[in-house]
Structure 1
Amino acid sequence: MSNPLGIVIHFEAGNGATNYLGWPFNSMAKIGGTYFGAGPDGLYEIGGDDDAGAQIDAVVETPAFDAGARSQKRVRRIYLGGQFSGDLTLYTRDDDANEREYTVPAPDSDRQQSVRVPVGRDGKGCYWQVGLRNEGGADFALDAMDIDFLILARRP
């Protein structure tokens, strides 16, 4: 198991899934309010700001979606809502796999807030993916991502 993948399906929250890459566990449990993972080399409590001193890399990514419009479209603006303790990188990917990255600077406050991410207007596609990853192990809690599209007249 050089790079194991764990998948958690959230049945109470509309069947969304969370992937855990690199976790060497064959089972997980929540006891009280504490999470544990068990593997061939022992039992681990899951929690904390780092992984035995190493930063924790986190990524949130949407599946490819057409935003309810089969036409070509451009991303105009993206708003993020949540708490962010450090810099983040937001990226967009169109259906031709063209990827663009944008830095989301750390806010002045660690309170819940909305952040507008300026995006370039050069990409277009019918299907889009949007992702967010932390930089330097920064902690973040994302509770909203609003994406404004400009729908173009041409269909793919």
Structure 2
Amino acid sequence: MVERRRFEDFEMGEQYETEGRTVTDSDIRQFVGASGSTDPIHVDREYADAHPLVDDVVLQGTLLLGIADGFLVDAIASDAALAMNYGHDEVRYLESVSPGETVHAEIEIVDTEFRNEAWGLVTARVELVNDDGETAVIDVHRLLVATGDNDAV
């Protein structure tokens, strides 16, 4: 059996870099189906080509946030004994990402806060980085993580 990390096992300054993931038109279509987010900048190449801020259709910001969240789960939360999303303190969309680009995450634990005998908060700064090494999304993400005294684990 794999030993899972408790709140006390996480330390400020820990860093992770994930493998890359190439995003696709299919990602956009599936997200549209799930969310109804049909702004033409995401689904209409002719519109996107004429748009002054992008060169192609781009992924929805919240889709990119979801991809960043998946990287966070793989890097940190999946190893925790018991963890749950507590929220996002800051999300910024800095660069657009188009289908065919590969993104990865650079993650750092920036804070740990003991809440009570059962739970603590682990705060991670997640940067979703594009092919050009530019940060596309910043997410300051907080996870509720069980302590060693939590009887639920």
Q: TM-score range by the shorter chain?
A: under 0.3
More helix by share: 2
Q: TM-score, normalised by structure 2?
A: 0.28
Q: TM-score, normalised by structure 1?
A: 0.27
Greater relative contact order (Cα 8 A, min sep 6): structure 1 or 2?
2
